[in-house]
Amino acid sequence: MTDGTLSCSLRRRLAGYTVAGKTRKNIADPLTLLFARGSGSVENGVVSLSYHGANDRFPSSQPLTASDVLDDSAQDEDYPLIKLHGALMIGAWVFLASIGIVAARYYKPVWKQDMCSLKVWFQIHRTCMVLVFCTCVAGFVVIFLEVEEWVEIEQKPKYLEGHPIMGVVVTGLCVINPLMALIRPHPGTKYRPIFNWAHWFVGTSAHILGVATIFFGFELDKADAPDYLKYILAGYVGWQALVELTLEFLACCCKKRPARSDAYKMSDNGVAGQMEDNDTNQSDGMDSFRKGLFTIHFFVVTAISAVLISLLVVGKKELDS
């Protein structure tokens, strides 16, 4: 090591040869040099090297021969398909699923009007969930184009090994849910409640697991994701929970109001008429609030998704340089 520069030298024949049954390459042929950087430890005088990780290995910018005399530098490995995979999954589960699930769960009584012969809430839900299916399956295909086979992750912490398994489960649930929707019983039939609960369970499970899998993905070396992406995603989880709890509370309030109005209607027609007007005004005001909350929710998840995708695509190494 001289002035911060590590120099290495060795002597061997240029031509290939065999020794002890092992064949040495002909280093007169062009070869790509590989450089890796990682941690090590010394115990009882024995040096042990740790795995360098996907972000600490660098190839030479061009193939070199042993007789070349030139300056060259290592270049960072890039994984554009892995970044595309992550971007697609963020778009599916952070953006599209958040909007589609909220629209179906809480906006049936708010958007009763039709759009193209179907209820507005259903059009929003169906459009979002079809796009979730398309982007999730596309992300699943893209990652297998990158790795070409089933690959187990060898990286600490140990729980990161669950990322590919969780990804397969999420994709499976994403495929099952629209298939269930195609064979759903008609409204009012005895099996419809069973379908409703099953559809809710599969969809909610896919959403929760999808976001959890993205959390794991941000920690993988090849994702090259800035550390703070996890905190932005945690902020999204908090926002989604706040929106759903607020809408759940409003839904409970709306369910209780008609019973109180009916009681007035039986005791005094004049008072009942006034109460019906008040209830109508309150209902209109609550619907306006819920529509406003949906608009805010749309812009918040859009902004969070755009930030997550942008920072993931740029990458930690580029942002730190």
Segments in 148-191 forming alpha helices (H): 163-182
Tell me the backbone φ, ψ of residue 110, rounded to 5 degrees.
Answer: -90, -45
Which CATH number is 80-320 given?
A: 1.20.120
**Residue 30 preceded by cis peptide, ω within 30:** no
**What pLDDT score does 66 carry?**
67
**What pLDDT score does 283 carry?**
62
CA distances 57 to 33, 35, 51, 54, 124, Å, are 11, 6, 10, 6, 46
Q: What angle do CA 34, 78, 49 make, to 5 degrees?
A: 40
pTM of this structure: 0.73
Three-class DSSP category at 211: helix
Structure tokens at 4: 């911060």
DSSP string, 79-142: -HHHHHHHHHHHIIIIIIHHHHHHHHHH-TTT--SEETTEEHHHHHHHHHHHHHHHHHHHHHHH
**What pLDDT score does 142 carry?**
94
CA distances 100 to 121, 125, 184, 203, 207, Å, are 9, 4, 18, 10, 11
Residues 6+ apart with CB under 8 A from 278: none
Q: Over its length of 321 residues, how does the chain's per-residue pLDDT go in tens digits?
A: 677 777 777 777 767 677 777 777 777 777 777 777 666 677 777 777 766 655 566 677 677 776 666 665 555 667 889 999 999 999 999 999 999 999 999 988 888 777 777 788 889 999 999 999 999 999 999 998 988 778 777 777 788 888 999 999 999 999 999 898 888 888 888 889 999 899 999 999 999 999 999 999 999 888 889 999 999 999 999 999 999 999 998 888 777 655 444 444 444 444 444 444 555 555 667 788 899 999 999 999 999 999 999 999 998 888 877
**What pLDDT score does 261 carry?**
41
Q: Please, where in the chain does CATH 1.20.120 lie?
A: 80-320
Q: Check: CB of residue 92 under 8 Å from CB of residue 135.
A: yes
Sign for the pseudo-dihedral over CA of 113, 118, 122, 128: negative
